[in-house]
C-alpha cells in the first residue's frame, strides 16, 4: 500500500497523478491512464469542493487496484448530470464510467473517502 498527503493547492491534482503513476509504474498503460484520470478528478473535487488537503491511498489486492481519496469536506460527493453547456460537474460520472467499482463513505472524522477499483492483469497473465 502507498499513501501520501497533499495540500489544498491548485497543483495538488497533478502531484496526486504523479504519485499514482509512480505506484502503478508496472501496470499496463490503459489501466494506468484510467486510474490517473480518475485520481485527477477526485483530487480536483477535494480541492474545489472540500477546500481541504487530501490523502491518496493506492492498494493492490489480488488482481485489483483500489485508489481512495480522502478529504475533510463536510458536503457529500454527488454524481451530477450537467448539461453540455455547464463547464464542470462530470468528475464522478467519469469515475463511474471507467471504474470496475466505486463509492464514497464518510470518514471517522466526518470527511469523505471516494474510492474506485480497476482490474489489473497479473504478471503471468500479461506474458
Mean pLDDT (whole number) for 102-127 = 82
Is the Cβ–Cβ distance between 90 and 71 less than 8 Å? no
Query: Binning pLDDT at 50, 70 and 90, where does residue 120 land?
Result: confident
The pLDDT, as a whole number, for residue 64 is 95
Of 39 and 94, which is predicted with more confidence? 39
Q: Please give the residue range of the domain that contains residue 90.
A: 2-126
pLDDT digits (tens, 9 = 90+) for 54-85: 999 999 988 899 999 999 998 887 666 666 78
CB 54 within 8 A of CB 6: yes
CATH number of the domain within which 74 lies: 3.30.565.10
C-alpha of 31 from chain center: 13
Total structural domains within the chain = 1
Closest CA to 125 of 67, 64, 57: 64
Measured distance CA(59)–CA(117) in Å, rounded:
9
Q: Please write the tens of the pLDDT for every residue from 23-32.
A: 999 999 999 9
Amino acid at each position: 500500500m502507498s499513501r501520501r498527503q497533499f495540500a489544498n493547492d491548485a497543483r495538488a491534482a497533478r502531484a496526486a497523478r504523479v504519485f499514482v503513476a509512480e505506484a502503478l509504474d508496472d501496470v499496463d498503460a490503459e489501466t494506468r491512464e484510467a486510474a490517473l484520470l480518475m485520481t485527477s478528478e477526485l483530487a480536483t473535487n477535494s480541492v474545489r469542493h472540500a477546500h481541504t488537503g487530501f490523502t491518496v491511498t493506492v492498494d493492490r489486492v489480488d488482481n485489483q487496484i483500489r485508489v481512495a481519496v480522502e478529504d475533510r469536506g463536510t458536503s457529500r460527493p454527488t454524481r451530477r448530470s450537467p448539461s453540455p453547456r455547464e463547464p464542470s460537474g462530470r468528475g464522478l460520472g467519469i469515475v463511474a464510467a471507467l471504474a470496475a467499482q466505486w463509492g464514497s463513505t464518510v470518514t471517522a472524522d466526518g470527511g469523505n473517502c471516494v474510492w474506485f477499483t480497476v482490474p489489473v492483469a497479473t504478471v503471468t497473465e500479461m506474458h
